[in-house]
């Protein structure tokens, strides 16, 4: 397993080193080796990232209630050319670096376009190391909790903050599904439970939430503050929090109205997540 992970990292680095992609000319991603995903660790750290709804960071003066697009941010917030340059020089642990790269590759491969008669795929969005000419880039760093700026921005440094795993239960952010969640914010996506139609799918119980944290359960309105992108509500979204998010007593704050479904347990992007990224970044089949 270790050898396969090393091979994956080498493949990613080789692609990063030699490709300078522009939109509609993004590189080919090789078949992703199957890897063992961690259990649902690290999810609690997302609730304590210090941002709106726990882990979303915005520039000063930006109001997400008036600047959203479905579950994606409103306006020209897609990364140009579908390329996201990043600088993770502040991540000094080699294992942590590998975890980030692997999460990036998993997300890139999952949203990529299948090529005929092969397992390879043409990238839809592409994370690569920052080059000298990249003035706008994602800065990845250690910090408290897990958080990320939402979407592309030019007047403010885009940052993703990841708490190092520690303690007997290895709480922190260095798990593939947690990093993929934060990368979805970077791409421009919000939390699923903030959708305007969420009350048709969830029962929200604010009696189990600290009054100072009830704003984390705000929702938006179709046609005024958000634009309906046509996707259905997705219990399996990697952007959906779990049943006890922001609970003060361990009791549910969100309960699915549909029986037999679970929320907050995604280990990678759902089919709907994938479709939404591809739609938002105009990746044709």
- Catalytic annotation present for 182: yes
Band (24; pLDDT cuts 50, 70, 90): low
Query: Does some domain include residue 191?
Result: yes
pLDDT tens digits, one per residue of 91-127: 999 999 999 999 999 999 999 999 889 999 999 999 9
Q: Which of 53, 182, 192, 276 is catalytic?
A: 182
Of 34, 25, 27, residue with least CA distance to 13: 27
Query: Does some domain include residue 91?
Result: yes
- The rounded mean pLDDT for the chain is 82
State the SS3 of 23-86. CCCCCEECCCCCCCCCCCCCHHHHCCCCEECECEECCCCCCHHHCEECCEECCCCCCHHHEEEE
CATH assignment of the domain containing 70: 3.40.390.10
pLDDT tens digits, one per residue of 141-174: 999 989 999 899 898 899 999 999 998 878 899 9
Give the pLDDT of residue 190.
85
Query: Does some domain include residue 73?
Result: yes
How many domains does the chain contain in total? 1
CA dihedral sign, ordered 179, 173, 145, 129 = negative
pTM above 0.85, yes or no: no
Query: Does some domain include residue 285?
Result: no
Residue 53 has pLDDT above 90, yes or no: no
CA-CA distances (angstroms) from residue 274 to 13, 108, 277? 24, 10, 5
The range of the structural domain enclosing residue 48 comes to: 2-280
CA atoms of 282 and 160, how far apart (whole Å): 24
Give the pLDDT of residue 158.
95
């Amino acid at each position: 397993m270790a050898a396969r992970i090393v091979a994956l990292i080498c493949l990613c680095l080789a692609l990063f080193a030699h490709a300078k992609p522009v939109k509609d000319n993004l590189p080919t991603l090789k078949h992703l080796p199957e890897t063992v995903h961690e259990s649902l660790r690290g999810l609690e750290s997302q609730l304590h990232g210090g941002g709106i709804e726990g882990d979303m960071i915005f520039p000063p003066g930006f109001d997400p209630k008036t600047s959203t697009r479905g579950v994606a941010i409103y306006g020209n917030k897609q990364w140009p050319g579908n390329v996201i340059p990043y600088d993770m020089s502040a991540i000094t642990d080699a294992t942590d670096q590998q975890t980030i790269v692997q999460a990036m590759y998993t997300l890139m491969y999952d949203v990529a376009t299948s090529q005929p008669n092969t397992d390879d795929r043409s990238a839809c969005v592409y994370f690569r190391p920052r080059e000298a000419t990249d003035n706008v880039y994602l800065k990845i760093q250690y910090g408290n909790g897990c958080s990320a700026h939402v979407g592309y921005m030019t007047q403010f440094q885009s940052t993703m903050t990841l708490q190092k795993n520690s303690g007997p239960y290895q709480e922190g952010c260095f798990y593939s599904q947690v990093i993929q969640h934060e990368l979805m914010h970077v791409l421009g996506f919000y939390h699923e439970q903030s959708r305007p139609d969420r009350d048709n799918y969830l029962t929200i119980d604010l009696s189990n939430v600290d009054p100072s944290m009830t704003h984390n359960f705000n929702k938006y309105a179709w046609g005024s503050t958000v634009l309906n992108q046509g996707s259905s509500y997705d219990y399996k979204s990697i952007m959906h929090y779990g049943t006890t998010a922001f609970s003060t007593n361990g009791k549910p704050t969100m309960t699915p109205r549909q029986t037999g479904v679970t929320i907050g347990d995604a280990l990678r992007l759902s089919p709907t997540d994938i479709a939404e990224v591809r739609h938002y970044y105009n990746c044709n089949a």
